[in-house]
């Protein structure tokens, strides 16, 4: 997943809102979001990377959300284990246990960002952060393929728009989900002067600069919106995409904590 915006405590109706795009090669085998059990037996709602067995974003029955993004590096170091196991571990372990494990072996995974979010707050960890592991509190946040809140143009655009939508939200989650799904389909490229230099070249930076990426072989494959209401209702919408933004299946889930 390459772009996530989340709002904690910004709406009296929805203490947690998550809006995310997952970008990936279309050839990588993937199962759409559904309920399944991981190797530890925990029940989760998530898509599944059929190549590594992990996921990029997961939700448990309590409405806790975990997600991982890669860190974009020109010459990435290979990790010994798949980053797709990180969201699963984050749901299974306490943040203290997980941080202790990650601190002990910083090279176990290639560069990553990991978030664990609830309606009360969250936790963020990156093995590319000088001081990894921190709590996050009330606010609107953005995460792409660099550290949390790094001001890449697409992150700033989405974060601002998501914050506005959440502030205006009413009790019914359906209109909010519809609005956020639309915002996540923003294909506006960033001007060259605002592009980061992550070592992949200007042409690739341009291609990756919009919130929603359209391509033949690589692009946005899933758009996901998650809301937790103050009454404890968890609502999840995921729209899947094919090459060149071909519309595929939409899945929706809702339950009471």
Per-residue pLDDT tens digits for 36-91: 998 888 999 999 999 988 999 999 999 999 999 999 987 666 778 999 999 999 99
Mean pLDDT of the chain: 95
Res 76: pLDDT:
65
Q: Which of 117, 118, 125, 79 is nearest to 100 (CA)?
A: 125
Q: Give me the residues paired with residue 235 across strands.
A: 227, 254
Query: Average pLDDT in the 171-175 region?
Result: 96
Per-residue pLDDT tens digits for 198-214: 889 999 999 999 999 99
pTM exceeding 0.85: yes
Per-residue pLDDT tens digits for 105-142: 888 999 999 999 999 999 999 999 999 999 999 999 99
The helix (run of H) or strand (run of E) holding residue 167 is helix 153-168
Res 257: pLDDT:
92
What is the architecture, at CATH level 2, of domain 3-256? 4-Layer Sandwich (3.60)
Per-residue pLDDT tens digits for 5-19: 999 999 999 999 999
Name 178's Cβ contacts closer than 8 Å, sequence gap at least 6: none
Alpha carbons 45 and 29: distance in angstroms, whole number: 18
Res 80: pLDDT:
81
Alpha carbons 163 and 140: distance in angstroms, whole number: 6
């Amino acid at each position: 997943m390459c772009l996530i915006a989340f709002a904690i405590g910004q709406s009296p109706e929805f203490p947690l809102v998550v809006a995310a795009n997952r970008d990936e090669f279309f050839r990588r085998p993937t199962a759409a979001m559904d309920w399944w059990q991981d190797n530890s037996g925990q029940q989760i709602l998530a898509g599944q990377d059929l190549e590594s067995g992990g996921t990029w974003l997961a939700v448990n029955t309590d409405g806790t959300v975990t997600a991982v993004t890669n860190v974009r590096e020109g010459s990435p170091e290979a990790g010994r284990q798949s980053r797709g196991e990180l969201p699963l571990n984050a749901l299974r372990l306490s943040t203290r246990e997980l941080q202790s494990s990650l601190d002990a072996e910083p090279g176990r995974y290639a560069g990553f960002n990991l978030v664990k979010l609830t309606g009360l707050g969250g936790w963020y960890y990156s093995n590319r952060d000088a001081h990894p592991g921190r709590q996050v509190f009330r606010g609107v946040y953005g995460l792409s393929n660099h550290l949390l809140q790094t001001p890449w143009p697409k992150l700033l655009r989405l974060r601002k728009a998501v914050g506005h939508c959440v502030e205006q939200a009413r009790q019914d989650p359906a209109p909010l989900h519809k609005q956020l799904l639309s915002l996540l389909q923003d294909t506006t490229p960033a001007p060259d002067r605002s592009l980061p230099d992550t070592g992949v070249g200007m042409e690739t930076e341009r291609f990756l600069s919009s919130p929603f990426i359209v391509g033949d072989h690589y692009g946005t494959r899933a758009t996901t919106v998650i809301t937790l209401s103050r009454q404890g209702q968890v609502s999840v919408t995921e729209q899947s995409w094919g090459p060149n933004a071909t519309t595929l299946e939409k899945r929706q889930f809702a339950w009471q904590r």
